[in-house]
Amino acid sequence: VLSFRAVESQSEGQCAPVDSLWRRYSEFELLRNYLSVTYPHIVVPPLPEKRADFVWHKLSADNMDPDFVERRRIGLENFLLRVASHPVLCQDKIFYSFLTQEGGWKEMVNETGFQLKADSRLKALNATFRVKNPDKRFTELKHYSDELQSVISHLLRVRARVADRLYGVYKVHGNYGRVFSEWSAIEKEMGDGLQSAGHHMDVYAASIDDILEEEEHYADQLKEYLFYAEALRAVCRKHELMQYDLEMAAQDLTSKKQQCEELATGTVRTFSLKGMTSKLFGQEAPEQREAKIKVLEEQIQEGEEQLKSKNLEGRDFVKSAWADIERFKEQKNHDLKEALISYAVMQISMCKKGIQVWTNAKECFSKM
């Protein structure tokens, strides 16, 4: 459950928004599904993971763990900021209602009928294998998103393994603290120095918990783009479905034109059971043929209009989608660069703290 303060309304004639709202994770899922279906050409920001994944083994993977819940809250807040900063999504009325209305926004979502559109996405699963002329740019983009997801998954697994080892190294330093403390008990002149050095080691050993918890926030930044890869693929699938529908419409139109030509000339260009039956049992009466030709001509005219409409729709989709993909690429390059730099700075800082601990221990030994 996430609680947040609603944004202030700047529009005239609207009721003042409530001061704060509570939203469940499932409500965020509904909002994102609606946005994904309503804006098929947009790389819709992903939600944070519902359950922890790619974690080092000492960290709880329980989705009710307070630290994980807090990181997920930050992730949900980041999702809202992503949508609010998007030039198109930020203007959506449902999104505004999500931010400002305690109830009623779900009814608004259902009234849009987005679920019926969502069902058409099932066809996209097979469209990929049946599109005859796929757009090379979207094919390459889909391959890129697969590779991006693979690389980030591997990076997160490596980070988790490194974190496991680091955790062990730090905790083992606690043994120095215990041994120095025990040793100090049997020494008079060396006792204070050993005791102090042991204290530094204990502090060092205990510090790893907070360090690795902070590191999880950097991992979450990488995970966001792990999930963004799927959002990219979703746009590619929607384009494939549009391309498939376009090709089917063109194929149907060609078939009807051929039927019309065969009826008009009385010649069958391709073998069919119907054509063979006509030869065996005689041709249709002129009146029947004229009626069929008239129906086909009407269907052809309607098909040509549909094909023209689908072509325009496809061109608009590609133009809009590619503009948003370019926007996403700029965002991705900036965010991943910042995340990796921050992670490196954190590692450097952690190493400096380790050097400081041993420098302090050295001074303790020197004073003995």
Same domain, 350 and 256: yes
Residue 185 to residues 176, 252, 363, Cα–Cα distance (Å): 14, 92, 20
pLDDT, tens digit, 9 for 90 and up, residues 65-76: 788 888 889 999
| Of 297 and 172, more confident | 172
Residue 254 to residues 37, 257, 300, Cα–Cα distance (Å): 31, 5, 9
User: In which band, very low, low, confident or very high, does the pLDDT at 10 lie, cut at 50, 70 and 90?
Assistant: very low
Percentage with pLDDT > 90 across the chain: 54
Per the listing, tokens 């119907």 go with 274
Same domain, 220 and 78: no
Does position 281 have pLDDT exceeding 80, yes or no? no
Same domain, 152 and 215: yes
Q: Which of 82-96, 98-112, 126-140, 240-254 has the lowest mean pLDDT?
A: 126-140
pLDDT at 123: 55
Same domain, 84 and 174: no
Same domain, 173 and 240: yes
| Residue 11 resides in a domain | no
Same domain, 150 and 91: no
Same domain, 103 and 208: no
pLDDT, tens digit, 9 for 90 and up, residues 138-155: 999 999 999 999 999 999
In the chain, the number of structural domains is 2
Does position 54 have pLDDT exceeding 60, yes or no? yes
3-state secondary structure 12-59: CCCCCCCCEEEECHHHHHHHHHHHHHHCCCCCCCCCCCCCCCCCCCCC
Does position 269 have pLDDT exceeding 90, yes or no? no
- 3-state class percentages of the chain: helix first, strand second, coil last, to nearest 5: 75, 0, 20
Q: Which phi and psi (to 5°) does residue 2 adopt?
A: -120, 135
CA distance 284 to 114: 47
Per the listing, tokens 């008239």 go with 294
Amino acid at 335: D
- What tokens appear for 41 in the block? 């050409």
| Residue 355 resides in a domain | yes
Same domain, 60 and 172: no
CATH number of the domain to which 62 belongs: 3.30.1520.10
Same domain, 94 and 188: no
pLDDT, tens digit, 9 for 90 and up, residues 187-219: 989 999 999 999 999 999 999 988 888 888 888
CATH number of the domain to which 195 belongs: 1.20.1270.60
| Residue 145 resides in a domain | yes
- What tokens appear for 36 in the block? 């994904």
Domain assignment of residue 260, given as a range? 135-264+299-367
Which of 118, 136, 205, 223 shows the shortest CA–CA distance to 168? Answer: 205
pLDDT at 120: 55
Which of 246, 300, 222 shows the shortest CA–CA distance to 132? Answer: 246
Same domain, 243 and 340: yes
pLDDT, tens digit, 9 for 90 and up, residues 316-336: 999 999 999 999 999 999 999
pLDDT at 130: 76
Same domain, 88 and 190: no
Number of residues written out for the chain: 368
pLDDT at 62: 56
Scanning 54-135, the segments in alpha helix (DSSP H) are 66-85, 93-100, 105-111, 114-119, 124-130
pLDDT at 344: 94
pLDDT at 22: 85
Same domain, 67 and 198: no
Does position 84 have pLDDT exceeding 90, yes or no? yes
